[in-house]
Amino acid sequence: MKRGTIFKRLFLTYGITIIIGFGILALVLMQLFDQYFIESKKQVLIEQGQKISQEIVLGLYTGQIDQQRLSESLKTVDSLLNARIWLVDENGYIIGVSGTSEDHYLGQKIEEAQLAQLYKGKNYFQTGTFGEKLEEKALTAGYPIFVGKVFKGGIFIHAPLPEVQKTFKDIYAITIAAILLCGLLAYVILYFQIRRISRPLAEISEAAKEIAGGEFQKRLSIKTGDEIEELGSSFNHMAESLERIEENRRNLVANISHDIRSPITSISGFVEGILDGTIPKEKQNLYLTKVLAESKRLGKITSNLLELSNMQQGQMTVKKQAFELNETIRRAIISFEEQILAKNLEIELHLFDEAIYVFSDSSLLERILMNLLDNAVKFTPENGHIRINTTDAPGKIQIELLNDGVSIDQEELKKIWDRFHKGDASRGEHRSGFGLGLAIVREIVGLLDEKIWAESGKDFVKIIFTLDKANN
Ligand SMILES: Nc1ncnc2c1ncn2[C@@H]1O[C@H](COP(=O)(O)OP(=O)(O)O)[C@@H](O)[C@H]1O
Ligand SMILES: [Mg+2]
Domain boundaries, the chain: 5-166, 227-312, 321-469
Give the C-alpha separation, 319 to 360, whole Å: 7
Residue 201, H or E segment: helix 161-212
* Residues linked to residue 358 through DSSP beta bridges, in sequence order: 323, 469
Higher local confidence (pLDDT), 364 or 2: 364
Report CA(380)–ligand 1 centroid distance (Å): 11
64 or 115, which is more confident: 115
Quick: pLDDT tens for 342-385: 999 999 999 999 999 999 999 999 999 999 999 999 999 999 99
**Is 80 exceeded by the pLDDT of residue 248?**
no
- Considering only CA atoms, which of 76, 166, 92 is closest in space to residue 133? 92
Residue 296 CA to residue 226 CA, distance in Å, equals 56
Q: How far is the CA of 240 from the centre of ligand 1 (A)?
A: 23
Question: Distance of alpha carbon 181 from its chain centroid, rounded?
Answer: 31
CA atoms within 13 A on the CB side of 393: 13
Beta bridge partners of 144: 154
- Residue 301's pLDDT is 83
Identify the CA nearest to 354 among candidates 472, 467, 452, 462: 472
State yes or no: pLDDT of 428 exceeds 70. Answer: no
Closest atom of ligand 1 to 438 CA is 17
Query: Is the pLDDT score of 168 beyond 90?
Result: no
**Best residue for ligand 1 mutational test, from 375, 414, 434 (most atoms within 8 Å of Cβ):** 375
Q: How confident is the model at residue 398 (pLDDT cuts 50, 70, 90)?
A: very high
Compute the average pLDDT of residues 401-421: 90
Q: Class for domain 321-469, per CATH?
A: alpha beta
* Neighbour-count burial of 432, counting CB atoms closer than 10 A to its CB (0-12 exposed, 13-18 middle, 19+ buried): exposed
Do 383 and 443 meet the contact criterion of CB atoms below 8 Å apart? no
Max mean pLDDT among 141-155, 191-205, 262-276 falls in: 262-276
Lowest mean pLDDT among 69-83, 105-119, 378-392: 69-83
Check residue 236 and give its pLDDT: 93
Ligand nearest to the CA of 414: 1
Helix, strand or coil for residue 346? Answer: strand
Backbone angles phi, psi at 405, to 5 degrees: 85, -10
Give the CATH class of 227-312: mainly alpha
The residue with greater pLDDT, 180 or 256, is 180
How remote is the CA of residue 336 from the centroid of ligand 2, in Å?
14
Mutation choice for ligand 1 from 378, 400, 424, 426, CB with most ligand atoms inside 8 A: 426
pLDDT tens readout for residues 280-298:
999 999 999 999 988 988 8
pTM > 0.85: yes or no: no
Question: For 154, phi and psi rounded to 5 degrees?
Answer: -165, 180
Q: What pLDDT score was predicted for residue 409?
A: 92
Pocket of ligand 1 (CB under 6 A): 375-376, 379, 403, 406, 408, 416, 421-423, 425-426, 433-439, 461
Say what the pLDDT of residue 252 is: 73
Average pLDDT of span 189-210: 88
Nearest CA to ligand 1 atom 12: 416
**Which residues contact residue 409 at a Cβ distance below 8 angstroms, ignoring those fewer than 6 apart?**
456
What fold is seen in the domain 5-166?
Beta-Lactamase (3.30.450)
Mean pLDDT of the chain: 87
pLDDT, residue 195, reads 84
Q: Is the pLDDT of residue 417 over 60?
A: yes
Span 403-410, average pLDDT:
93
Going by pLDDT thresholds of 50, 70 and 90, the confidence category of residue 129 is: confident
Mention every residue, 6+ apart, whose C-beta is less than 8 A from residue 98. Answer: 71, 74, 75, 77, 78, 84, 85, 86
Closest residue by Cα to atom 25, ligand 1, is 422
**Structure confidence by residue, pLDDT tens digits, 374-391:** 999 999 999 999 999 999
